[in-house]
């Protein structure tokens, strides 16, 4: 199975940039960017053609990660579940910075907050 298929599509172009799926997303992104240059698109609905395919809601089609976000995502990619303190230790960042960055990643749908200050990847 292609590595890109196992990674959530919201970040496939980042973790498997040479895959066919990543190329399809880049093509879609380019086509969407040039649909109407005068009035930017605010919302885009992408659905599957087959009724038995799972339908998911994704807040953003292409998630852009900043430096600290990228660092935390790579740490969570290597581990299933980590506490806030352990993430801060591995990232060499203050707990307050990690906490606010994880909240931003949670809003982007990349991280899931669990009881006990535990975080898991959601990609």
Annotated domain spans of the chain: 1-64, 67-121
Fold classification of 67-121 (topology level): Arc Repressor Mutant, subunit A (1.10.10)
> What is the band of 58 on the pLDDT scale with cuts at 50, 70, 90?
low
The Cα–Cα gap between 19 and 88 comes to: 32
The reply to whether the predicted model has a pTM over 0.75 is: no
For residue 3, pLDDT over 80 is answered with: no
- H or E segment and range at residue 114: strand 111-114
Arithmetic mean of pLDDT over the chain: 75
The Cα–Cα gap between 59 and 63 comes to: 9
Highest mean pLDDT out of 20-34, 47-61, 68-82: 68-82
For residue 53, pLDDT over 70 is answered with: no
């Amino acid at each position: 199975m292609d590595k890109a298929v196992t990674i959530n599509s919201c970040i496939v172009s980042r973790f498997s940039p040479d895959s066919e799926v990543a190329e399809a997303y880049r093509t879609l992104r380019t086509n969407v960017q040039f649909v109407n240059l005068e009035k930017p698109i605010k919302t885009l609905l992408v659905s599957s053609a087959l009724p038995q395919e799972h339908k998911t809601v994704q807040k953003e089609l292409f998630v852009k990660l900043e430096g600290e976000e990228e660092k935390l995502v790579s740490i969570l990619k290597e581990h299933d579940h980590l506490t806030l303190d352990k993430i801060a230790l591995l990232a060499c960042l203050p707990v307050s910075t990690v906490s606010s960055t994880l909240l931003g990643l949670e809003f982007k749908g990349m991280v899931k907050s669990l009881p006990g200050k535990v975080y898991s990847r959601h990609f």
